[in-house]
Amino acid sequence: MVRPNSGLMTGQENDIKSWIRQGVNLGGTLFLATLWELWLCRNKCVFEGSITDHWKICLSAQALSKAITHAFITPVDGTRAPRWLGWSSPNKECMILNTDGSVVEDKAGFGGLLRTPDGGWVHGFCGNLDGAEVIEVELMAILQGLHICHRMGLNKVYCQTDSLTATKWILGGVAPMHRYANLVGLIRKLLSFHWTASISHVLRECNKCADFFARKGHMCFARIQYFMDPPLELLPLLHADSAGELSLRV
């Protein structure tokens, strides 16, 4: 009877264990979830002859990692548990408008983009409003985005912004003498037109593409600039959103 070389096997096992430890240290539960999904797909290929698309493996691994995180990480002393977040369409019948505003020192920009429910590109815009406060450019982004949608003749639009304050003001209204009563009033008037348009708050991890345009507004020489095609630098973010990629919010 020939026995395997135990010394050789031990060395290989140690290498694998070290590799797994390093992967866990760098990628956490996502690394382990990806290994598991790859193993399942390998078995499907060997025993069923089924080939799984790589993007499906990524989505399954992210979902499993998210489930593991929620199951085993418990908030302590009122702290939040980490969450996996990403862009999504809450309504498959509406066009999705994402908007954002950005202020860095004396530079203030706003922007946003319009997408189909599955993340397909439709239109983008950005603008400059130097000297403005953050809430002002947030409101301006929403106003300009809704104007674009209305001029395009869209019937159903769902607007997402990462400004909770702007969302509350728009949905609840503000006093007539409020500093931004005019802007808020124009937005509320647009929303009341004969179309289905609504607005909701999302976290910044779900609004990365709009943030791209808001920051681009810092360098915009015109009051507003329109984009028929997506900028090349935006493509990775667009593809990540449409593929359902998630970011960890801690």
Tens digit of each residue's pLDDT (9 = 90 or more) over 49-73: 888 887 778 877 877 877 777 666 5
The model's pLDDT over 142-167, given as tens digits with 9 standing for 90+, comes to: 999 999 999 999 999 999 999 999 99
Q: By the 8 A CB rule, do 85 and 249 touch?
A: yes
Q: Which helix (H) or strand (E) holds 104?
A: strand 95-104
Q: By the 8 A CB rule, do 103 and 141 touch?
A: no
Give the pairing type, strands 224-227 and 121-128: antiparallel
Instruction: Give the pLDDT confidence score for residue 176 in this predicted structure.
Output: 93
* Contacts made by residues 36-45, CB under 8 angstroms, sequence distance 24+: 36/61, 36/64, 37/61, 37/64
Return the closest-CA partner of residue 214 out of 107, 119, 85, 62.
107
Task: Indicate if the pLDDT at residue 83 is higher than 80.
Answer: no
Instruction: Give the pLDDT confidence score for residue 214 in this predicted structure.
Output: 97
Instruction: Give the pLDDT confidence score for residue 72 in this predicted structure.
Output: 60
Token duo for residue 104:
């860095």
Amino acid identity for residue 37 in this structure: E
* Euclidean distance between CA atoms 207 and 217, whole angstroms: 16
Whose structure tokens read 């990629």?
Answer: 245
Angle made by CA atoms 194, 96, 214, in degrees to the nearest 5: 110
Instruction: Give the pLDDT confidence score for residue 250 in this predicted structure.
Output: 65
> Which has more pLDDT, 173 or 52?
173
Listed in sequence order, the residues at least 6 apart from 139 whose beta carbon sits closer than 8 Å to its beta carbon are 101, 163, 166, 169, 180, 183, 184, 187
Instruction: Give the pLDDT confidence score for residue 49 in this predicted structure.
Output: 86
* Euclidean distance between CA atoms 109 and 233, whole angstroms: 18
> Could you tell me the sign of the dihedral formed by the alpha carbons of 229, 234, 237, 239, in that order?
positive
> Which has more pLDDT, 56 or 78?
56
The whole-angstrom distance between residue 7's C-alpha and the CA centroid of its chain comes to 49
Q: How high is the mean pLDDT of the chain?
A: 87
